[in-house]
């Protein structure tokens, strides 16, 4: 065979040998020798004929796939234990890194969508950020699907490579491909930095998730306990609210000022009793009736209190209404927990719903 024909053939056979070796064919050299013999016999010393024979055989990758299929070879056969332990480390590392950014960004993105202003721009921004973080694992995990010279952080740290050619896919050690010049560049330092950042993000997402989950469970428990159920020795919420309101009015009635001890024990320090004390004195309020309470948050209710003057021989007369905001209180004491209800806000002379 002439030098020109030999050069064309050897270039082709070198590519074929690489494809067969990467696919794990145990007799790659024998197969290449067989192809060399067939082409040499058919083309002789004619470079053009050699080129025609090579074109007839097709691309090296296609020919390698056909040879493997014809011989019933499995690309996964012969994978060493060294590859499997690398896979056991690389795959979890890449899965964790791929999930770290979406999980860490979930709550901030939700906060932008739920509380940002203006609303339309906030929702659009949250959607764009969500798509961006969801694209991160798609690109990070791409080498697992496509193979080639690009490595994931897990692959770079463990020296694992995905070899992919038409018709087969297999795992190999990077050093096994060095002799063929196919070993990808391992950026170990960069991979370690990405893995560290991913671990920090994932740990933060777990902590926030546990905190959010615990808050949600506590909120659900509070709602279940105070949403229309009975508390405090079997008394309904309506009875508890009525007791607080009546004790406040009773404590202020006939008192010299808004600091009556009886009334103060049923209010929080933030509640201002002075306007109500003046109203009771000026209007001659002697009795009250409560409207239907409205829950504004678990354990906190707003109720309208209708106020009446007179009584006894004088018919009761409605003179107005005030609004009470009443909440449930708990203390931790040496002997255990103590709880009661107290007015946290009193709007004297203002019916419920007044802006």
pLDDT above 50 for 228: no
Whole-number CA gyration radius for the chain: 40
Q: What is the pLDDT of residues 76-130, one digit of tens each?
A: 444 556 777 888 889 999 999 999 989 888 888 888 887 777 878 888 888 888 8
pLDDT in tens, 31-78: 788 888 887 777 777 777 778 887 888 887 777 777 766 655 554 444
Cβ atoms 305, 288 nearer than 8 A: yes
Report helix, strand or coil for 278.
helix
- Cα–Cα distance measured from residue 303 to residue 293, given in angstroms and rounded to the nearest whole number: 4
> What is the spatial distance between Cα 10 and Cα 4, in angstroms, rounded to a whole number?
10
Q: DSSP code of 235?
A: B
- Measured CA to CA, the distance from residue 170 to residue 161 in angstroms comes to 9
Beta carbons within 8 Å of 345's beta carbon, 6+ residues apart: 270, 271, 324, 325
> Which residue is listed with tokens 């950026």?
187
- 15 C-beta neighbours (distance < 10 Å), count: 15
pTM: 0.45
pLDDT in tens, 149-162: 789 999 888 888 88
pLDDT average, residue stretch 223-252: 67
Q: At 239, list the tokens.
A: 């009875």
d(CA 82, CA 189): 22
Q: Would you say the C-alpha torsion 347, 348, 350, 353 has a positive or negative sign?
A: positive
Cβ–Cβ < 8 Å for 180, 18: yes
Alpha carbon of residue 203 to chain centroid:
12
In this structure, CATH architecture of domain 237-347: Roll (3.10)
Q: Under a CB-based contact definition with an 8 Å cutoff, are residues 154 and 90 in contact?
A: yes
Lowest mean pLDDT among 3-7, 85-89, 234-238: 3-7
d(CA 170, CA 160): 11
How many whole angstroms separate alpha carbon 17 and alpha carbon 117?
62
pLDDT surpasses 70 at 233 = no
- Which of these, 283, 246, 275, lies nearest to 262 by C-alpha position? 246
**Is-cis flag, bond preceding 118, omega within 30?**
yes
| pLDDT interval class at 313 (50, 70, 90) | low
**Domain boundaries defined on the chain:** 3-71, 81-212, 237-347
Element (H, E) at 333: strand 314-333
């Amino acid at each position: 065979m002439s030098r020109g024909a030999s050069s064309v053939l050897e270039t082709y056979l070198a590519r074929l040998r690489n494809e067969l070796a990467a696919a794990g064919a145990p007799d790659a050299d024998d197969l290449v020798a067989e192809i060399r013999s067939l082409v040499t016999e058919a083309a002789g010393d004619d470079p053009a004929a050699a080129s025609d024979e090579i074109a007839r055989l097709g691309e090296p990758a296609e020919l390698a796939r056909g040879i493997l299929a014809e011989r019933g070879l499995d690309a996964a056969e012969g994978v060493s234990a060294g590859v499997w332990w690398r896979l056991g480390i690389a795959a979890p590392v890449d899965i964790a890194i791929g999930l770290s950014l979406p999980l860490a960004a979930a709550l901030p993105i939700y906060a932008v969508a739920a509380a940002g202003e203006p609303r339309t721009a906030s929702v659009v921004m949250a959607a764009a950020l969500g798509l961006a973080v969801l694209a991160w694992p798609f690109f990070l995990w791409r080498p697992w699907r496509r193979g080639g010279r690009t490595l994931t952080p897990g692959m770079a740290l463990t020296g694992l490579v995905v070899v992919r050619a038409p018709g087969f896919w297999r795992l190999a050690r990077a050093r096994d491909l060095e002799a063929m010049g196919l070993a990808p560049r391992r950026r170990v330092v960069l991979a370690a930095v990405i893995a560290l950042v991913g671990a920090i993000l994932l740990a933060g997402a777990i902590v926030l998730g546990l905190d959010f989950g615990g808050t949600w469970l506590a909120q659900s428990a509070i709602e279940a306990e105070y949403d229309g159920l009975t508390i405090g020795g079997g008394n309904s919420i309506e009875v508890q609210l009525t007791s607080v309101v009546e004790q406040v009015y009773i404590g202020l009635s006939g008192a010299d000022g808004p600091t009556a001890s009886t009334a103060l024990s049923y209010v929080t320090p933030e509640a201002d009793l002075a306007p109500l004390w003046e109203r009771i004195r000026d209007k001659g309020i002697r009795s009250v009736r409560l409207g239907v309470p409205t829950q504004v948050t678990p354990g906190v209710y707003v109720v309208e209190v209708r106020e009446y003057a007179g009584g006894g021989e004088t018919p009761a007369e409605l003179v107005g209404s005030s609004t009470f905001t009443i909440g449930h209180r708990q203390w931790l004491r040496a002997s255990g927990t103590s709880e009661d209800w107290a007015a946290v806000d009193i709007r004297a002379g203002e019916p419920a719903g007044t802006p």
